[in-house]
């Protein structure tokens, strides 16, 4: 059994082949870098900071959040075909642990072509759904993550990508979409097959859309790594606003 927060051994470089075709964008995007490090300070729905349900998430996805979850990373996509989104961290609070409270929020990016309920390899869209969060890693040393953390140069973005993308994978949190839980983020295992894609992560932002991941500023990633706790069964709820609210 691994101990949360410890650094695991370096994974085989062969896993990087899947990474390069699945996660961050390897092409230069026209969007300019915005204020990716800012904390919005408000939830997407004004006045809905505390709730018994995650704000703006409909019954379909709300029902998929495990009852034991005490932390939810909600990714609110601006639109089905938009690469812009907002990430909000909610934590369970209240005397009986029944209330969701907004902790932090950040501007973010998702797949450069937007969102899909049927993600496919290289479709440049992020998958809509509720997914567990169990493993983390990156090129940089563990910043104090509560998740098992793999430091590995094999995770690094290749330098034939635009220079703005070179630090995308300095910190990553694996989203458990079509992957084997309990493995490093760049483990190549695809339980549902290669066609369904994989290597969908939370990772550092380069100022524009990704190939399917969700990207945030370095301070945001450091905060999430130090805050998300396996003992609280964290999940990510992600999608464009229309699909989230269904």
**pLDDT at residue 226, as a whole number:** 98
- Answer for the pair 21, 121: CB distance below 8 angstroms, yes or no: yes
Residue 185 zone, left/alpha/beta (φ > 0; ψ -120 to 50; rest)? alpha
Distance CA 97, CA 105 (A): 21
Alpha helices in the chain (DSSP H): 16-22, 59-62, 218-227, 241-245
Kindly tell me the burial class for residue 162, based on how many C-beta atoms sit within 10 Å of its own C-beta (0-12, 13-18, 19 or more). middle
- Beta-strand ranges (E) seen in the chain are 7-8, 50-51, 71-77, 84-93, 99-109, 115-116, 126-127, 129-138, 149-151, 172-175, 201-204, 214-216, 235-240
What separation, in Å, do the N-terminal and C-terminal C-alpha atoms of the chain show?
39
Q: Among 41-50, 66-75, 109-118, 120-129, which stretch is predicted with the lowest mean pLDDT?
A: 41-50
Residue 233 zone, left/alpha/beta (φ > 0; ψ -120 to 50; rest)? left
Percent of the chain with pLDDT over 70: 79
Q: What is the pLDDT of residues 151-191, one digit of tens each?
A: 999 999 999 999 999 999 999 999 999 999 999 999 999 99
46: CB partners within 8 A, 6+ apart: none
């Amino acid at each position: 059994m691994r101990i949360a927060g410890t650094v695991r051994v370096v994974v085989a470089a062969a896993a990087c082949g899947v990474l390069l075709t699945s996660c961050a964008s390897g092409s230069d995007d026209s969007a300019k870098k915005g204020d990716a490090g800012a904390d919005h300070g408000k939830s997407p729905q004004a006045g809905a900071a505390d709730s018994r349900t995650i704000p703006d998430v409909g019954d379909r996805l709300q029902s998929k959040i495990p009852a034991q979850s005490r932390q939810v990373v909600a990714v609110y996509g601006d639109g089905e075909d938009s690469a812009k989104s907002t990430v909000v961290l909610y934590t369970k609070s209240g005397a009986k642990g029944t209330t969701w409270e907004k902790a932090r929020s950040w501007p973010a990016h998702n797949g450069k072509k937007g969102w899909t309920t049927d993600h496919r390899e290289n479709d440049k869209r992020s998958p809509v759904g509720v997914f567990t969060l169990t493993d983390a890693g990156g090129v940089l040393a563990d910043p104090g993550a509560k998740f098992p953390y793999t430091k590995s140069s094999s995770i690094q973005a290749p330098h034939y990508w635009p220079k703005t993308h070179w630090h995308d994978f300095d910190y990553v949190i694996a989203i458990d979409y079509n992957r084997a839980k309990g493995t490093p983020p760049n483990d190549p295992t695809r339980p549902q097959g290669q066609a369904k894609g994989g290597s969908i992560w939370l990772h550092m932002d380069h100022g524009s859309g990704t190939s399917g991941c969700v990207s945030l500023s370095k301070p945001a990633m450091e905060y999430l790594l130090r805050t998300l706790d396996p003992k609280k069964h964290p999940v990510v709820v992600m999608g464009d606003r229309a699909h989230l609210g269904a």
